[in-house]
Structure 1
Amino acid sequence: MQFPMSALFGVAKPSGPTSMSIINDVKELVTQSKLFMDAEKLEKNKGKKLSRRGRNEIKMGQGGTLDPLADGVLVVGVGKGTKKLSQFLDCVKEYRTTVLLGCETDSYDSDGSRVALAPWRHVTREQVESALDKFRGQIQQTPPIFSALKMDGRPLYEYARQGIPLPRPIEPRPVTVHSLELVEWNIKHDFKWPEQTLSDQQKSAMETATGECVADAAETPEEGEVPTAFVLQMRVSGGTYVRSIAHDLAHEVGSAGCVVTLTRTRQGQFALSPEEEDDKGCVPWEVFAKASVELGEKDSSGLYAWEQEVLSHLEVVA
């Protein structure tokens, strides 16, 4: 194999960091690796903590952002691999998500602020499974206002945060849900409804942006009681918002709901658990985290352990 190379590889992103912070941390290692940099630039970068300007020495990007809450497959492109990243925006993706009933947030997930509480005790597994039919196949889906989707050049979330009225209602978009299954019901958990609520100013801003009234009804668990949570598994087209499916499904069964865990298990040929012949696995985040602290020793081929791990998972781009 000839170095340096251009490539695609998957990183198993943990929940918590932003996708951009993951890319920047990986880039610190990539710009000091003979896998991706020529000898002259390697010598220049040796032992240095790169500045933002230094990071521009190599092209690197990701094929579809994951929210901080989400974990799972994050496709990374290096060099000419960045030209292939657009294909991952529209490819089929697979997700596993946990939905907590009884609470709705502004972002549709547990990182947001509580908007409303609703009854949940009446919801049965049979009701949820029956309601899933409405979300399979080709459907029209309205993206959440807390998303990066742009309207007149401005991300939707800016309208909500700044209390700017939307120029027009958010238009539903066609997406395809190839499969959608309830795989675990009423799971044991320690998830709680977000304690953070909207201030009067934030409520006013959100109502101004959406034109809808924000309410927080009183419906709290009894002592020792936890609201129902269940797990969905789905295979969807690019552009599908898992958070919207959870939000809309909860409404369909007469409740409210928010996403408390979200894992992208597959994006194109990159998967957390490879199953098909052409599948590629993902490099565990711990590999990069460890190398960022201490590179360790090189092997007989002159590669560090993290480089060997990436090499075993990547797809070379000519």
Structure 2
Amino acid sequence: MNGIIPLFKPKGVTSAAFLDLFKSFLFRVIKGESGKKRKRKRMKVGHGGTLDKGAEGVLVVGIGDGCKELKNFLEGSKKYCVTGKLGAATDTYDSSGTVTSEMPFDKVTIEKFTSVVNKFTGAILQKPPIYSALKFEGQRYSDLARQGCPPEPQLRPVTIYNVECTEFKPPLFKLNVHCSSGTYIRSLVHDIGQELESRAHVIDLCRSQQGQFLLSDALKQEDWSLDNVNKLMVVTKSKRLKDRKSV
């Protein structure tokens, strides 16, 4: 099996653990199809872009030779639906972390909120969360943070193509975000909270699009079958993939 397939990663499982589940599934069904007893061979399976454990949505996975092509297919933008909460910041920038500071939000009007959100569109410099999959000298920032010795992440250039506020009911708000690869939505929400002279963190996050793959394309775990994988899997020269426009 060689190709690329979009999967739906649910909340509560890391991208790496979810990938292992999919890899085990593939081995079982392929072994079942062959009808032969054989030793488990190493199967190449990789994903193109980590989703937080508490997030859900599109996770693009490469199988076999498809792993080599992940970067080529994932250079496009990404879209997210995020729910944030005003009033408190956490060390992880989401609800899984420890509250580090609190500030009132009673003076944050929809007009002020919209004005501040608009400041974050275009090319900006963003500091990734300390609790992230990024690496420093070969170690993940999140691992170093748990050890109590995290280095300060460096500012990185990212592009926010569009941010739309779809709901504002303080302390909660919802945003649709269209951004470049490498953007951290947790950092965006955290920075918006600070710019509002309050605080904010993410309480719900869904990746609705990754590169050319939509949420509607993503195969859910309950629908995993060899037939469904073969139907959805695309390869480098797939006409279906070439014909689809990148956002």
- The answer to whether the superposition gives a TM-score over 0.5 is yes
Aligned partner (choices 214, 218, 232) of residue 282 of structure 1: 218
Gaps of 5+ in 1: 187-226, 274-280, 289-305
- The answer to whether the 8 A contact 2:3-2:65 is kept is yes
For residues 147 and 81 of structure 2, the distance between their equivalents in structure 1, rounded to whole angstroms, comes to 32
- The answer to whether the 8 A contact 2:75-2:211 is kept is no
Structure 2 residue 112 is the aligned partner of structure 1 residue 176: no
Structure 2 residue 204 is the aligned partner of structure 1 residue 261: yes
Q: Give the aligned partner of residue 61 of structure 1.
A: 46
Equivalent residue letter for 1:185: F
Q: How many residues align?
A: 237
Equivalent residue letter for 2:181: G
Aligned partner (choices 168, 178, 181) of residue 235 of structure 1: 178
Q: Give the aligned partner of residue 234 of structure 2.
A: 315
Matches within 5 A, 1:39-50: 39=34, 43-45=36-38
Matches within 5 A, 1:89-168: 90-164=75-149, 166=151
- The answer to whether the 8 A contact 1:100-1:228 is kept is yes
Aligned partner (choices 69, 86, 104) of residue 71 of structure 2: 86
- The answer to whether the 8 A contact 1:136-1:176 is kept is yes
Equivalent residue letter for 2:18: I
- The answer to whether the 8 A contact 1:15-1:70 is kept is yes
Q: Give the aligned partner of residue 244 of structure 1.
A: 187
Percentage of pairs with the same residue = 39
For residues 184 and 93 of structure 1, the distance between their equivalents in structure 2, rounded to whole angstroms, comes to 20
RMSD across aligned positions (CA): 2.1
For residues 153 and 165 of structure 1, the distance between their equivalents in structure 2, rounded to whole angstroms, comes to 13
- The answer to whether the 8 A contact 2:141-2:150 is kept is no
For residues 245 and 267 of structure 1, the distance between their equivalents in structure 2, rounded to whole angstroms, comes to 18
1:309 Cα deviation after fit: 2.1
1:38 Cα deviation after fit: 8.6
- 1:31 counterpart SS class: helix
Structure number with greater Rg is: 1
For residues 24-81 of structure 1, give each alpha carbon's deviation from its aligned partner in whole angstroms, at most 9, with x where no partner exists. 11112211334x9994xx6235xxxx9xxx3x52111111111110000011111111
Gaps of 5+ in 2: 238-247
Q: Which has the higher strand share?
A: 2
Equivalent residue letter for 2:117: L
For residues 209 and 139 of structure 2, the distance between their equivalents in structure 1, rounded to whole angstroms, comes to 30
For residues 71 and 264 of structure 1, the distance between their equivalents in structure 2, rounded to whole angstroms, comes to 6
1:122 Cα deviation after fit: 1.7
15 and 316 in structure 1: CA distance in 2 versus 1, 3 angstrom threshold:
same
- TM-score by length of structure 1 reads 0.69
Q: Give the aligned partner of residue 70 of structure 1.
A: 55
- 1:100 counterpart SS class: strand
